[in-house]
């Protein structure tokens, strides 16, 4: 079983996003970038399957500008077998529908049976790409998974999904797409020797334009503004009595 | 230019998410229908009593009790031929299904809409809500989820027409196995007026019971940080934040939570924020209306013993 892991390069999740008022875009020049945390979890799950002998090959795919190669190198250093880089030009504002169409093309070319991806990219917070991809390919879909097991028939998987009302367990026939949630696993760090080894692992570059996919934007960002948390004038208290008195005065009890 | 809302049921009741979706849909169109996918035709009547809906369309099939996404998305996409807008609340139910509907209709869906500026221009959060973007769509059909904290929850008072649809059920390549549902007598997290939320500072599942005790005293819902959920103090459906639930209660009381960007993303619109933490520099304190800098166990003991 071949596994494809789509990974995205995003602003480091612990860094505050800043808006460039002139360009009306989030300013990523000089910003610290990282692999989307959910994608790290997806990579970890694929590696575990490979190590258990269930997977034959793990392939990381990322779509983006030249710097995206860094993210693919990270995936290779974590342990995936090879990487595919879909190169875009810097002006292009890709949306999940485009990403889905590009990934569908690669998945069909590779004849992958299982796609493990993040539930959400923490830059645009869309939470859409896996679902869209499953619709385009008509594959079965398991979103927000916190548990994954390959069934002994090797034709299906059992997944537990974190949903608003609790945990739902489903069986998905392969080929399938799963999107991973935070509690699926603890992703490993790449060791120094593996970072060195990753440099010689295969990384194929494909020009997006060569795939013939329509990437004209469906959604235009008209403007952006920072809306970070506003500091509030906080009152210090030091007893339960004071707290209840304040809350009563504020009318929130 | 009519709109369809996808109804999400909580048992036999219409969820707050769907009530918010109705309010949003009525801002887009004065002709709003609803779609209920269910295993029990009786469930359509709850939707029909919301005020503002023309027709409630219902598809009844046993398999729809635990919405199978491959089936649901196909059924919805087919119904959409009569509509310009598809609106649903930002729940895991809709987030699972709507993007797949988008793919089937060749439409780029819009997630977590917080404001409708015009029939094609919307405001939505990026970067854990630290950036708000105004986006304009060029698609002819518009598919979106809306934040339940950003739109009023439509009230009952209507009596919509009911229409049963009976399409052929699409093939499915997945099967439902089980649902481990969280049971709680407390108010529901996303609609509660008050929330008492606990973090890693609680230290253990046993200690976390002190949070539950305080919640009961204040008739509040219980919430948690990711660290508290990861540590097993409480189950996943209590997580507040960027990747958990988004809440905006009258009162949010954060105990032993540091205030990471990802947590603030889920609660920063709360009306009154109270922080109990022994670290004066916890980022959470900066956005608090009231700060009690104290050992949280002392504070919880005192609060739980206090005679109101
Ligand atoms: C992709 C991604 C998504 C995430 N999504 C979410 C999300 O949805 N929700 C979320 O909450 N987090 C999320 N996180 C995690 C987030 O970054 C933080 O790690 C998490 O919120 C920390 O939880 P905490 O505040 O409980 O723990 P900590 O940061 O460890 O804070 C514990 C606090 O308790 C205080 N404390 C400890 N002991 C005591 C005591 N005895 N008395 C008083 N105070 C005490 C400490 O001073 C500290 O401020 C996400 C992270 C990533 C990378
Ligand atoms: N440019 C991209 N390249 C590769 N994978 C992507 C890209 N964008 C999104 N994805 C995948 O889709 C997931 C969900 O992203 P999103 O739907 O944008 O929130 C991510 O975690 C990735 O696995």
| DSSP symbols for A186-224 | -PPPPPHHHHHHHTTS-EEEEEGGGG------SEEEEEE
Average pLDDT score, chain A: 96
Taking the CA of residue B105 and the nearest CA in chain A, the distance in Å comes to: 10
Residue carrying structure tokens 């609609």: B191
User: Which of A125, A146, A222 is opposite residue B136, by nearest beta carbon?
Assistant: A222
B126 to A234: CB separation less than 8 angstroms, yes or no: no
pLDDT of residue A187: 98
Ligand nearest B294 Cα, by number? Answer: 1
Q: Nearest-5° angle of CA B214, CA B218, CA B224?
A: 55
Work out the average pLDDT over B108-132. 97
Whose C-alpha lies nearest to ligand 2, atom 8? A8
Contacts of B168 (CB under 8 A, 6+ apart): none
In this structure, the number of other CB atoms found within 10 A of the CB of residue A248 comes to: 11
DSSP codes joined into one string, chain A: -EEEEE--EEE-TTS---EETTTTEE--TT--EEE-HHHHHHHHHHHHHHHTTS-SEEEEEEEESTTHHHHHHHHHHHT-SEEEEEE--TT----HHHHHHHHHHHHHHHT-SEEEEES--TTT----HHHHHHHHHT-EEEEEEEEEEE-TTSSEEEEEEEETTEEEEEEEESSEEEEE-GGG--PPPPPHHHHHHHTTS-EEEEEGGGG------SEEEEEEEE-PPPP--PEEE-SHHHHHHHHHHHT--
Work out the average pLDDT over B222-234. 97
Q: Which pTM does this prediction carry? A: 0.96
Classify B300 as helix, strand or coil.
Answer: helix
* Tens-place pLDDT, residues B145-202: 999 999 999 999 999 999 999 999 998 899 999 999 988 889 999 999 999 999 999 9
* Tens-place pLDDT, residues B255-293: 999 999 999 999 999 999 999 999 999 999 999 999 999
Report the candidate in A134, A136, A137 with the shortest Cα–Cα distance to residue A159: A134
In this structure, the number of other CB atoms found within 10 A of the CB of residue B193 comes to: 15
* Tens-place pLDDT, residues B80-100: 999 999 999 999 999 999 999
- pLDDT surpassing 90 at residue B43: no
Work out the average pLDDT over B34-59. 94
pLDDT of residue B3: 98
Ligand 1: does its nearest atom lie under 6 Å from the Cβ of B88?
A: no
- pLDDT surpassing 80 at residue A25: yes
pLDDT of residue A231: 86
Burial class, B120, CB count within 10 angstroms (exposed 0-12 / middle 13-18 / buried 19+):
middle
- pLDDT surpassing 90 at residue A207: yes
Work out the average pLDDT over A51-65. 97
- Reported as a pLDDT band with limits 50, 70 and 90, residue A93 is confident
Q: Which residue did the predictor score with more confidence, B1 or B123?
A: B123
pLDDT of residue A59: 98
Work out the average pLDDT over B214-228. 97
In this structure, the number of other CB atoms found within 10 A of the CB of residue B232 comes to: 11
Classify B44 as helix, strand or coil.
Answer: helix
- pLDDT surpassing 80 at residue B23: yes
- Reported as a pLDDT band with limits 50, 70 and 90, residue A92 is confident
Choice from A3, A4, A5, A6 to test ligand 2 binding pocket (greatest atom count within 8 A of CB): A6
- pLDDT surpassing 80 at residue B298: yes
B57 part of contact set with chain A, CB < 8 Å: no
pLDDT of residue A90: 80
Q: How far is CA A10 from CA A124, A195, B71, B125, in A?
A: 9, 20, 33, 16
pLDDT of residue A155: 94
Ligand 2: does its nearest atom lie under 6 Å from the Cβ of A128?
A: yes
| Helices B92-105 + A96-110 axis angle, to 10 | 70
Q: What is the DSSP pairing of strand A82-87 with strand A57-64?
A: parallel
Work out the average pLDDT over A136-158. 96
Token pair of A222, please? 């008209």
Q: What are the backbone dihedrals phi and psi of residue B115, each rounded to the nearest 5 degrees, phi first?
A: -155, 140
Work out the average pLDDT over B42-56. 94
Please state the ipTM of this predicted complex. Answer: 0.96
DSSP-derived secondary structure letter, B140: S
pLDDT of residue A100: 98
pLDDT of residue B98: 98
- pLDDT surpassing 90 at residue A9: yes
- Reported as a pLDDT band with limits 50, 70 and 90, residue A153 is confident
pLDDT of residue B236: 93
- Considering only residues 74 to 103 of chain B, which have any Cβ-Cβ distance to chain A shorter than 8 Å? 91-93, 95-103
Using CA coordinates, name the residue in chain A closest to B226: A182
Bridge partners of residue B272, in order along the sequence: B251
Average pLDDT score, chain B: 96
A167 part of contact set with chain B, CB < 8 Å: yes
CB-based contact A117:A177 (threshold 8 Å): yes
Work out the average pLDDT over A8-37. 93
Q: Which residue did the predictor score with more confidence, B188 or B228?
A: B228
- pLDDT surpassing 80 at residue A228: no
Which strands make up the sheet holding A82-87, listed edge to edge? A203-207, A82-87, A57-64, A2-6, A114-118, A176-180, A140-150, A156-163, A166-173, B174-181
pLDDT of residue A68: 96
Work out the average pLDDT over B117-127. 97
- pLDDT surpassing 80 at residue A224: yes
Q: How far is CA A251 from CA A132, B160, B209, in A?
A: 45, 37, 26
In this structure, the number of other CB atoms found within 10 A of the CB of residue B308 comes to: 9
């Amino acid at each position: 079983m071949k596994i494809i892991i789509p990974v995205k390069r995003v602003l480091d999740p612990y860094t505050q996003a800043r808006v460039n008022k002139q360009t009306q875009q989030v300013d990523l020049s000089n910003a610290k970038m990282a692999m989307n945390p959910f994608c790290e979890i997806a990579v970890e799950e694929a590696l575990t399957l490979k190590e258990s002998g269930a997977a034959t090959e793990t392939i990381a795919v990322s779509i983006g500008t030249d710097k995206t190669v860094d993210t693919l190198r990270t995936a290779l250093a974590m342990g995936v077998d090879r990487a595919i880089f879909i190169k875009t030009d810097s002006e292009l504002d890709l949306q999940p529908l485009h990403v889905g169409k590009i990934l569908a093309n690669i998945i069909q070319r590779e004849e992958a049976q299982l796609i493990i991806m993040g539930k959400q990219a923490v830059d645009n917070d869309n939470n859409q790409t896996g679902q869209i991809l499953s619709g385009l390919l008509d594959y079965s879909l398991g979103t927000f998974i916190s548990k994954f097991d390959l069934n002994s028939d090797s034709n299906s998987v059992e997944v537990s999904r974190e949903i608003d009302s609790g945990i739902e367990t489903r069986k998905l026939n392969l080929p399938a797409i799963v999107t991973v949630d935070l509690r699926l696993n603890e992703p490993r760090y790449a060791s120094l020797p593996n970072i060195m080894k990753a440099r010689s692992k295969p990384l194929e570059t494909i020009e997006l334009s060569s795939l013939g996919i329509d990437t004209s934007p469906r959604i235009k960002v008209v403007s952006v503004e920072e809306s970070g948390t506003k500091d509030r004038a906080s009152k210090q208290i030091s007893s339960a009595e004071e707290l209840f008195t304040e809350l009563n005065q504020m009318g929130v009890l | 230019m009519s709109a369809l809302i996808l109804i999400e049921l909580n048992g036999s009741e219409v969820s707050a998410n769907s009530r918010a979706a109705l309010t949003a849909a009525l801002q887009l169109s004065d002709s709003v229908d609803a779609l209920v996918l269910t295993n029990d035709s009786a469930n359509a009547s709850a939707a029909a009593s919301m005020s503002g809906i023309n027709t409630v369309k219902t598809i009844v099939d046993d398999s729809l009790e635990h919405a199978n996404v491959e089936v649901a998305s196909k059924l919805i996409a087919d119904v959409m031929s009569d509509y310009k807008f598809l609106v649903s609340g930002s729940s895991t139910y809709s987030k699972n299904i709507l993007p797949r509907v988008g793919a089937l209709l060749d439409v780029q869906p819009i997630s977590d809409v917080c404001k409708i500026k015009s029939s094609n221009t919307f405001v939505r959060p990026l970067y854990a809500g630290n950036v708000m973007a105004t986006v304009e769509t060029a698609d002819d059909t518009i598919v979106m989820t809306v934040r339940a904290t950003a739109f009023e929850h439509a009230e009952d008072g209507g009596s919509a027409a009911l229409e049963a649809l009976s399409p052929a059920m699409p093939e499915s390549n997945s099967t439902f196995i089980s649902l481990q549902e969280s049971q709680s007598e407390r108010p529901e997290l996303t609609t509660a007026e008050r929330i008492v939320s606990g973090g890693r500072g609680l230290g253990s599942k046993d200690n976390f019971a002190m949070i539950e005790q305080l919640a009961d005293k204040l008739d509040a819902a219980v919430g948690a940080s990711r660290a508290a959920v990861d540590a097993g103090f409480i189950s996943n459906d209590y997580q507040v934040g960027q990747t958990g639930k988004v809440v905006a209660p009258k009162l949010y009381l954060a105990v032993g939570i540091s205030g990471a960007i990802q947590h603030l993303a889920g609660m920063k619109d709360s009306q009154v924020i109270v922080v109990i933490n022994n670290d004066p520099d916890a980022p959470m304190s900066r956005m608090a209306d009231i700060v009690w800098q104290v050992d949280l166990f002392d504070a919880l003991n005192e609060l739980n013993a206090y005679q109101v």
